[in-house]
Structures are given as C-alpha cells and as structure tokens.
Structure 1
Amino acid sequence: MNMSEQWRNVDPQSEFVLVANDDISDLQRTSLDVLYQPIIGVLAYALVNNFWRMAQERDPHKVHSHFELLSYLNVDVKSFYEARIKLEAAGLLKTLVKNSGEDRVYAYQLINPLDTHSFFADDLLSVSLLQIIGEDRYLDIFQEFAKEPFDVSDYKNISKNFLEVFNIKQSEIAKTPTVVNKVKDNVNRVKSFETGTKDTVNDDFDFNLLLDMLSQSFVNVADVKKSVDLINAEHELYGIDEIQMSKLIEKATNVTNNVFDPRKFKVIVSRQFKENHASLQETADARGNESQTSASESSLSNVEKQLVKSTQEYSPVEFLNYLKKAKGGYVRSAEERILAEVVERGILNAEVINMITYHLLVDQDKSGLNKSLFDAIADNWSQQHISNSSEAIEYIKKRKSDKIKPKRNYSRRYNGQANVKETLPDWAKDGYDNSKNEKQVDETKKKELQERIKKLKNRRKEG
C-alpha cells in the first residue's frame, strides 16, 4: 500500500494502550513546547500532550479506543495518522501493534523529549528547526536557553568521592549483588527500547581523510568526531567534499579555545549555500566516476545517459539549484526541507532523488517541488527497490508499457490531492507530440535545459 494510503489501516474502533516509563520533566516540557512544536506541527503537538495526560491517569495502562481519541481531538483518521507518524519521526513516540484474532491492538510507547541542550546537540532535530524557523529565530531561542559558563580554572577541586564519605563493603564492590544487576539490566532494557541507532556510514565521504586534514589545523579533532552524523548529513545534502568541509569546520571553530561549535557550523553551511553556492566546489565528479554503470544503462539513449551522469554528479540541493536556475527560478527554503527529509530517511540514493526532481520540474514542468507528490513518488520508488537513476528511467518506461493493460490503471493519484500521472519523461518518448498535452515542456525548452545544465556543469569543472 502506498505510504499516503497507510492511514486506512487504522480502524477507529481498534484499541490501544499507553506506555510511559518516566514522567515528563519541566525541562523536557519546555523543550517540547518551544523546540519540538515548530517541527511536528500543532496537531501532533496536541496529540502528544493528550497522550502524556492520559498516561498520568490513575490507571495508566487502561485500554482506550481510537474513536474516543479522535472524538476528543475532533479529527479524522487520516489527520490522526499523519500527526502520529510525525511524533514517531521526531523520536517522541513508538508505535507497536499485535494481532488479536481479527482485531489489531496498538501500544503507544511515549518517549521523553530531549532536554534543550540535548536537542541542540542532535543533528537532525536542530537542522530541521533551523530550516523551519530561520537563522535569526534559531539563534534567539538558543540564547534563551544558553547559560554563560562560570570560569573555575583558578579554583581547586576539594570535593570528596563516594567511598571517602560512605561505607560500603569491598566484597560487594568486587561482586555486584544479584538484585542490583537485575535492576540495572531492566534499566538498560528500557533505555534500549526507547532509543534507537541509525546507520551513519557514508561510503562516498572519507571522514578519516577529513580528520587527517583537520589534525594539521587548530581544530580540536575530538570535538569533530562527536559530530560525525551532522557532517555526513550536510555532505549528503549539499555535496560538500572533504576539503571544503574542513574549511567550513574551521570557520565554525573558536580560535581561542579550538572548540568546534556544531550549531555555528549548521548556520554557516546553510548561509554559504544560499549566499554563494559557487563556493561549494563540485565533488560529485569522483562519485560519478566511481559509481558502477548499471546493466540497464546500456539500453538508454544518449540523452538519457547524459541525464544519468548529471544525476550522479550533483548532490540533491545542487541538482535542484541548477534546474531552478535553468528555468529562471530559485530554490525555496521549503524545497530544501523536502530534499533534506528524504535524504535523512536514507531510503533512496542521491541520484534517485535527483531523478525525482528532474521528473517533476522538467517532464511535468512543475514550477517547484511539492512535498506530498515528492514523498509519494519517493515511497513508490523505494518499494520498487530503485537504487539508481538508470533503474528509475527503466521503471518509468515499464509504467508506460503497463499503462495500456486494462487491469493496471496508472492514472491513479499519487497523494489523493492532485491528479498526477507518473509517466515516461518526454525526453525518452518515441514520437512525442507536444500538441497532445499543453502542460508538457516542448522539445526546444527541453534541449535548452539540457544545454544549460551541461554548461553549468562544465563551468564548475573549469572553476
């Protein structure tokens, strides 16, 4: 089932229980109100607050019905589902389900919000907040929570340690009592359930090379190592290579104490791309040369092969930027967020994401990216296990071929809001007639776009 249709799996009559292992603290509440709300939106914010209220009732594991919840929030099932998955994505909720006969029973595991300091240290959350509220407001909020550190370098620490004050048997230190181990295991189990780890390995970015370069500078490499997730995410989104990354990290490092500031780094990267995109040098040439040619590429036309090469050579934001420039437009912040969210999910390669962008802006002649449509296509291609742009083109051709079969109706909506067909791109159609569809880009415009992209790419290589 398409991702945009998965809300239909939720039966309003189905039941759920709430699980909360801890109460929410005042500091976590502040973080939820000020930092999380702009990201998750008003309805998701209302939903998670209602969940926390219900979890604090006398019988916290009481069985509830979704109908009861929908009535209280005055929303339909689709709106509830969209709010719920936002909470899941933000790390505020885990949804579990089990089948009980013909019925499904849900368990909603509430996860405490990060405190303000941990939130700003989290790469995905802080970058998302920055993109939504803007640099000025982002820095204002941080200053509200930041506390000026007190310099204690002239003081001497005379504090006592635990064993100097409290008496405890040496035998119990050497061999931890069974009851303590049991409790500790239970705590670790709860923690492992609440938190998850994600794969942050990036095959086309040499983090060790970056560290080697930084070790020759004034930057504290140990600080940089703590931000590997952030650095990989910024590389994937903007196509920043190791050399440029080292320069940006140096700009975000305090020359007085050599401390790397991740928050300043995010702002610098975002600002530099918007103000001077040309300063971020092309790095995808190597990536394109190293990438393997798929078996399906041999069946592509020369124009299609040129497109495949372009999708491999540019990062998602760079590719969008050049396409928008070729159309006489510019990249909007909302479009950057669309690409950032898809990149962060890690379900599609950069070249496949670029192919979706091309398909929308050139084939369908859209003026910009639409989140619902982009997500729907990304979800569909992910389910088809499309791993490169060559496979994407072949898949589009197959969709065109299957379209003539009575059983397969591909004029269905991607997202239920716009009657959009995923068809073969115009540049790959045989006998394409522009007069049959006024919304399609004419051949002259398509060739012009291809030429402008090629010139821009050559200009970058010369620079």
Structure 2
Amino acid sequence: MNFIGKILPIEGYYVVVKSSLPVDYAKSLTHLYQPLIGIQAVTLYLTLLHEVELQKEDSPQTHHTLMNYLNLPLDEIYQARLKLEGIGLLKTYENKGEMQNYYTYEIQSPFSAKSFFLDGMLTQLLYHHIGKDKFELLQEHYTKQPVTKGSNITASFNEVFQTFQPQAPANKVKQDEKTASSEAVFDFTWMEQMLRQRMIPAQRVLTGENKRLIIQMMQLYDLETFEIEKSLLWALTEDNVLHAEEFKTACHDLFKSKYKETDIQLTEKQSSPTQISSQEVVTKEDQLVMELEKISPKQLLEDLSSGNHASDQDMKVIREVMTSQGLPSPVMNVLIHYVLLQTNMKLSKAYLEKIASHWSRANLKTAKEAMAFAKRETKNFQKGNQATSGYRKPASKEIIPDWFKERKKKQPSTAKEQNVDKEKEQQEIEALLRQFSGENK
C-alpha cells in the first residue's frame, strides 16, 4: 500500500496523554506489543509520549521533526502511526486550517503486562506471533500470583449489617448458596472485563447457570484462561447468548487438539508395598480426599492410566454426566474413582449416570461428603437394604492407586519406623481402601 503524501513534513502536530500509564508500560510495550506492531511503531509511541514535555502551546511541532528523531521517511512514520491506531495505543484528530492542516495525537494507555493477558484477541495474536513456548513463558512471568495471604476471612457488609428481615423462600436460599459456593472458588472478573472490551453485555452471558457450566468445563478439561475465552466467544450467538452445547463442544475440541496421541485404555495396575508410618495410615483417607478435591477429572484419569492422556471417549462420557447432573469437580472425582473400583477399571456411562443421579439428589458438594456417602450406601447395600441403594457388588480385586502414592512426598522416617513389618503395613493400606470401595475380605 502506498502511504506517500498522506501527511506532509511541514504539517504540525500536538500530543496529549489521555490517562496515566501503568508502572510497567515499558515492559508491556517491549515484550507484548512490539511482536505485534513492530519496533518502528513502538519507537514512534515513545517519541510522541516524551514530546509532551517539549511542545509549545502556540507552536506545534512539524512532522519533519519526527523524521529527524526517528531517522525514517514520512511514509513509514505514517504506516507506524496506523499500527498504533489499530492496536488501540493512539487516537488521531485532524484540524483543517486556512494555511495548512495540523493533527492532535492522543496517547492511549497500553495494558499493563498482567492485564494484557486478560484480552482474548491480543493474547491470541501474541500466541501466534511468538509461538507456544515463548508465550507460556511470558504469561507465567507476568500473571504469576502474588504471595499468598492466607484464607480471606474478612466479614462482608451483609454479614455485619442488616437493613430488613429477608423472607426468601427456602428453595431459593438453597440455590443461592450453591451458586455462591461455586463462584467463591472462581473469579469471573477477568471474563467480565474481556466481554466489556468487546461491547458484549456481561450480565447476559455470565448468568448463574452459565457460570456453573464454565467452571465445570474449565475443571473437567484442565483448560487455561485464554482457552476458556476462545471457547466462550465461539459459542456466543448473534444475540450474545451462550449456546451451551457449542461451548461444551468447543472445550472438548481444544482438549483433543492439545492431546493428539492415540487414545489409551484404562488398565489395572499392580501395586508394590510401600513403607509408611502408623501416623500416615491413620490419615491416609484424609490425604486421598485432599487430592480428589484439588485435581481435575482429566488429571485423575491420566493418573490412573500411568500418566497417559485421557481418551476422547472417556472425557465425553464424564462431560455429559457431570453437566447433566450438575456435580462439582471433587464429587465427580470420587464418582469416577468409585466406579472404576467397582467395575474392574471400566468406565461405564450407564453406571456413572445411575449413581450420579442419586448423588445429585443428595446435593453433595465436596469429595469428603461424596466419599462418606458412598461408604454409607455401600454398607447399606451389603446389609441387604437394596431399596436405598442401587450400587453393584464390589469388584473381586482390590485396586491400590499408585498415582496417589506417587503424588505424596515421602516423609523422613526414624530407625524404629523403618523396621515396621512391610507386609503388615500393606494389609493396613488395603484395608483402608476396601473400606472406601466397600469390599469385605
């Protein structure tokens, strides 16, 4: 494209700064914007920024000055200006005078390095310009979380003050608690900002039902923030309504594109004796619950499959059951583990759905609740109370999850603990797992 003659060297310009710049604007321009718009556009931006201090109110600078500063012809300066305008770093206003025209360049604040990665379009462009490895390095560096402050126990306004006596129906209170519980562990601020930047009404998209679906898909497929953004924008209709099925399909397609290896089959693993202390035996179930609370269903399947990628078909089955029954990720993990133990490591959709519907009606929210419920129902079944439980007879072989033992770091042992009979400890571990799976020997 020919840019010669678009502006003349004798034409003047003024520079104004729209708002204050973030502290790390130079890092953002260098590492995030420069790969997208080039060094000439970034240099022009910085030159205009520092021209503010030197300009006179009654005498505009000429573009010939910019040519000398940048050592560039005017057509290349004009091209760099267009890039700044297109990326959102500059606004240009033309003033027609009797003798000659002059321009006002309004400097726009760039995103801070952290906020840059909240913009779906810019992050996708940067990803394609610099490649996966460099992108992940920058994203990890600029979006790393600050040092943890501990659990936030600050009382809210509603917890301290009351202006009237609420009279909400009981079922509505229960639903509100469930929604608040989900959002408490997930911050939607980044998504609201992304939608507003695209002039999309965030309240229409981020309904309570859609938030729950977004959380489920992010946990199920272990997706990154920019991947969720991409799936969400893909699934929006022309009326800015989220199409749930298209969103689930988009998330699943991203999962498949990341893991193109041949689908694997879950198989039973042979366990080996592990030396642990008596204190560890007592708390083994609690440690297992903690792991099931933290990991995603996808990670659980991979751990149970010796680290291989979860199969496409297994992920589809889990997705349908998880979303249709509205089970939280920790509860789904317990369900997956339980079904695999009961069915000789075969993931049966019919069996999953049967138990999931029962657990959904029980309103289970945590892995601990689900594990206790499963043990109680299995115990009732073994006593002959089949009316309250539809679970199958436990599998004939005990499954000791190596993934759990491998995840736990070994603690230093005293000389006395090292002499504990390995066979006895193995029997204690197996007895604990049988308590969960419901098997009696």
TM-score range, shorter chain: 0.3 to 0.5
| TM-score normalised by L of structure 2 | 0.40
| TM-score normalised by L of structure 1 | 0.38
Rg larger in 1 or in 2? 2
